[in-house]
Amino acid sequence: MNAAAFALVFVSVSLSALAQTAFKYGVARVHLPDGASTLLKAWAFLSSPFVLGGLALYGIGTVLWLFALRQLDLSLAYPFVALSFVMVAAAGILVLGEPVSAGRLAGLGLIVLGILVMARAG
């Protein structure tokens, strides 16, 4: 994989992870009245600045992903999307204060190991 294509993949995946973190942060701060309708909940979520920011990050990440796919085999590029699992878990733990366990860390380690195997084989 060439360095420019790898950079596109990494930035795209990073933006997706940031988008997920923004989504969680945004919806956690929306206060809804008891018995709010689904439409009111959807509107409240979609009007959150963090949710809107997350959507924008996804959009930018998607455009970068398209440029990366132009340069790489899909079967090589797509496994790197698994990096987002690691990034989102790290953000959940470090930014959102979510709990961490040995099982979660072991699973994340396996994901990283799998990505390294794919990168070396690619």
pLDDT at 105: 93
Contact in structure between 43 and 113 (CB atoms under 8 Å)? no
Predicted TM-score (pTM) of the model is: 0.86
- More confident: 96 or 1: 96
70-79 residue pLDDT tens: 999 998 888 8
First vs last Cα of the chain: how many Å apart?
7
| Three-class SS state of 99 | coil
Q: Can you tell me the distance from the alpha carbon of 20 to that of 70, in angstroms, rounded to the nearest whole number? A: 25
Contact in structure between 49 and 119 (CB atoms under 8 Å)? no
